[in-house]
Amino acid sequence: QSRGAEHREKGVKSDHEKQYVGFATLPNQVHRKSVKKGFDFTLMVAGESGLGKSTLVNSLFLTDLYKDRKLLNAEERINQTVEIVKHTVDIEEKGVKLKLTIVDTPGFGDAVNNTECWKPITDYIDQQFEQYFRDESGLNRKNIQDNRVHCCLYFISPFGHGLRPVDVEFMKALHEKVNIVPLIAKADCLIPSEIRKLKERIREEIDKFGIKVYQFPECDSDEDEEFKQQDRELKESAPFAVIGSNTVVEAKGQRVRGRLYPWGIVEGKCSAQEWQPGGTGPGRTAGLW
């Protein structure tokens, strides 16, 4: 009887194993494969000179991508044509590898006549799409290098009253090709009320000129309320006001990346509510808010 029961148990087990296909492990397999291979991310930064593009990129990725950069004087910038300069760095975080490519556009918006100064940039983006299409159509698709521009951070001057004509034309030329994230540069030059007014003006002009900027995806219905609230705040904060810093300062016993002012410290990673210019203690601003 015991042998019969044993055979029956084995029979039940084998039947169960036959019913198990194994596709439930597909997400884990894809995850392992992706982590092993790593990811490619190409980020373009554009905007006129002097808006802190290089500093912000260094702050975001805690690295120095512009060690050998030559700084031009005002006369040289006026005569400079738009260039495409690539910087690549390999970053690893908790076992996940990222090949980060920063596409810089020195010379954009600096000339006296900026007519179609965005043309070299759109040509470069189109070339990367064409190259990727050719690679996808080829035989060796396993080792394709994805150099397509995935996102463009466009820096808007905080000293104007909204978008300049060159800002509008640039974003309209690119918005069908790449995800555009407009940023108000050097936001620590403005007080909170000025930032709010400038954001409202830029949002109105983006709608007026029909510019398509990156929109955050909607939250899933089963997400917790805290995450949904963060998502709403991010959407309402666009266009983001940003600052960057390459220096490390001490604030309340901690060493942080930030800028030291007589009234406090501008830190790159704090909540927007901590923006306290003129306060009694160190006022910390968000790097993005």
For the segment 48-99, what is each residue's pLDDT rounded down to a tens digit?
Answer: 888 888 888 877 777 776 666 666 555 555 555 577 888 888 888 788 888 8
Mean pLDDT of 1-23: 55
Q: What is the DSSP letter of 284?
A: -
The pair of structure tokens assigned to 26 is 């597909």
Are the CB atoms for 186 and 243 separated by under 8 Å? yes
- Residue 104 — φ and ψ, nearest 5°? -95, 155
| Residue 43 bridge partners (DSSP) | 102, 151
| Residue 242 bridge partners (DSSP) | 288
Mean pLDDT of 94-123: 81
pLDDT score for 23: 66
CATH number at 35-215: 3.40.50.300
Residue 112 has pLDDT above 70, yes or no: no
- Residue 171 — φ and ψ, nearest 5°? -65, -35
Residues 97-127 as b or e (16 or more Cβ within 10 Å = b): eeebbbbbbbbbbbbeebeebbeebbebbee
Domain ranges within the chain, ordered by starting residue: 35-215
Residue 272 has pLDDT above 90, yes or no: no
pLDDT in tens, 158-174: 888 889 998 999 999 99
Residue 285 has pLDDT above 50, yes or no: no
| Residue 103 bridge partners (DSSP) | 44, 86
Mean pLDDT of 155-160: 89
In sequence order, the 6+-apart residues with CB closer than 8 A to the CB of 8 are none
Mean pLDDT of 125-144: 84
The gap between the terminal CA atoms of the chain, to the nearest Å, is: 74
Are the CB atoms for 108 and 50 separated by under 8 Å? no
pLDDT in tens, 193-246: 898 999 999 999 999 999 999 988 887 777 888 888 888 888 888 888 888 777
The secondary structure element, H or E, covering residue 91 is: strand 85-93
Closest CA to 238 of 169, 180, 181, 155: 181
